[in-house]
Amino acid sequence: MRVFFLLFIMFSSLFAFDSVSATEERHLVELDESPDAFIEKLDRYHPYIHVLNTFDTLLQAVAIEGKPHQIERVLEEQAVKRVFPVVDYTASYQLADTELISDSYLDLELGYTGKGIKVGIVDTGIDYTHPDLKGNYKGGYDLFDLDDDPMETQPEEGMPTLHGTHVSGIVGANGTFKGVAPDVDLYAYRALGPGGIGTNLHVIAALEQAVKDGMDIINLSLGNTINGPDWPTSTAVNRAVEKGVSVVVANGNAGPEDWTVGSPATAEQAISVGASTKSYTKPELELLKNHQRIELLELPNAKSWDLTRDYRLTTDPNDASEHILLVDPTEQNFLETLEKIKPSGLLIEHKPDESIEALLHLQTPFPVALISEESAESLRQDEGLWLRTHHNEIDNEVASFSSRGPVTASWAIKPDIIAPGYNILSTVPDGYQALNGTSMAAPYVTGVLAILKEANPDYTPEQLKAALLTGASPLKTHAPIEQGAGEINAEASLETDLLIENAHLSFGIKNEHNEEQTHILKVTNVSDQPIPFEIKRPRTQIGKRWDIPKRVIISPNETIELPIRLTVTQPKSADDSYQGYLTTETDNKNYQLPYLWLNQIDDLSFIRGIEFEPSIQDPMTYHFSLQLSEPVETLVIDALDPQTLQHQATLYHQEKVDAGLYQDSCQLPDDGSYLINVTVVKNQKQESHQFMLEKIKDKN
């Protein structure tokens, strides 16, 4: 059973303003005109609206705050293009499962160190006083305190953070610990505050500031769970790349299920990074009663889970001796209790919405591990049962927590690449620590990208990405939507003679019986010798035909475009996807290009993120928004009687709705409680989502 321990705490302040009132709302408003022109209208016609921030570098947008009925009037302005809620972004990671490992994997010895390359870390800030970071730290900005001091959150300011310092160390620490590119110029942009939480407004503002400051590369080890290519942070990332800045984004820690990649890793032009593991040993508990296995996540400063015999389970601290004790850390006097007990092992229940910061430095003479809320509840049903410890040897693979693709609506292959993200030792305030997560994999790629940029200062972001992906090597047991081009190989990327752009062959989703899609591959010879290039035809499969270009000779410094056509003639397949790797050959090197064709997927939800809110001006009017993973033929919203399920009214009906974020409003028939039924139809497939709308109070 998978267990995730993510840093998560609700944080209510935004930029330098006070916490928002329960009667006020915040929105990000994308515009068809300049923010300055729109603000003039706000000053003239909507003086009660508070402008939180303006965006004019990557987006034409404003962030506004006001009472709901005031916001409604603003959104009626003709210049409003799209409206987005203010949502949380988190810095998420897991504690390392085992003892701290060597940092030798960072010592690449490639002859380049990232010297002179400006890298912006958009994160929780940085401990720039750390002896391994202070030499390379050059500046930055704090988007919470609105000053040029992006220090990590300190204890007196709220829940302290360490994530940005850890990420910065992987990229460019230079001291006792050395990062991938130990001579980069590090800049920190604090977009996540106490507890590692910020909003899309903080992230976009940080991106804009980093672009204005002339960063060569920006690292975003953060994200949310919204799988869609048109979310504003994803749009901002794409536009940063268009302005000449490479952007590396963590793919997320919501795996191992498909479709779990979140924004901004969904951005087409981002370098989205999944996490790979090395070989390691992982402890598990076996319930001897039924042989069920429970995963354990060890705490780094506690004694390792090295139990060699069976122990009984207890939840009573007074009966902990010679037992494995299960505790809830939210109970009163939890830390004081730990000082008085001596169990053989301690299991701490962890709920997804609780922070683990307080446990990071927990030191005990007995083994300690975190388990999921679900596992803890299961154990409490059988107090007194016997538990046995097992240690599993894990091979190098895509980490189970690493989010998978593809991206909804665009059907893009994500992640683009994978990199080490398990047991990653790096700098933290006051020392060093090992953490797990795609947050740790992304800065590894950022460091390698800095090396490539130093070696090839004239490369565009597209060429740097091509070099990175061209040198990657796929793991044999994983599919493209799990690893993209494969595991990073810095040396191969640095030495490649070919740059293969547009190397992810995403053919979209099959909608017709006979469907043909063409993908254009762009290949550049950056050597001083002609290079033969041939794409090997995949093995024949019924209903699928590849049209592959013939072998070509690419002259020095020549760029060619090669069309690759896939035709699918079979009826609807039982398989959700057709994916794998095309092999390309030169005289001395093979390259693997991931491809993906999606069937009409039965288990993919068309609808995500439904929001349904009443209008303040008219309580019978409700505004709604939802995210569609692909275009649908029909969208219908009905009101049903919650007791009899009889149809009361059709609130909304729309034909031919495009994929992406969809927003509109509808009218209720009368006061009362309703079961709201949202239905979409495509290709005779119907999907419905239902939720209760409680009785509207009498307006009088």
Catalytic positions are: 123, 163, 439
Distance CA 23, CA 14 (A): 16
Q: Is 168 helix (H, G, I), strand (E, B) or coil?
A: helix
**How far does CA 125 lie from the centroid of its chain?**
18
DSSP calls for 282-316:
EEEEEETTTTEEEE-EE-TTSBP----S-EEEE--
Number of C-beta neighbours around residue 322 at 10 A: 11
- Rg of the chain in Å (alpha carbons): 27
**In 310-418, which residue ranges form alpha helices assigned H by DSSP?**
334-340, 373-380
Among all chains, which residue has been given the structure tokens 């040198």? Answer: 471
The two tokens of residue 206 are 């940080």
Cβ distance 668 to 674 under 8 Å?
yes
The H or E element that residue 371 is part of is: strand 368-372
For the CA atoms of 78, 81, 87, 91, the dihedral, rounded to the nearest 10 degrees, stands at -140
Distance CA 160, CA 199 (A): 17
Question: Between the CA of residue 280 and those of 144, 423, 488, what are the distances in Å?
Answer: 39, 9, 19
CB-count exposure of residue 179 (10 Å: 0-12, 13-18, 19+): buried
In 3D, which of 154, 21, 6, 173 has the Cα closest to residue 90? 6
In 3D, which of 162, 166, 213 has the Cα closest to residue 185? 213
Distance CA 143, CA 123 (A): 10
The two tokens of residue 585 are 């050959």
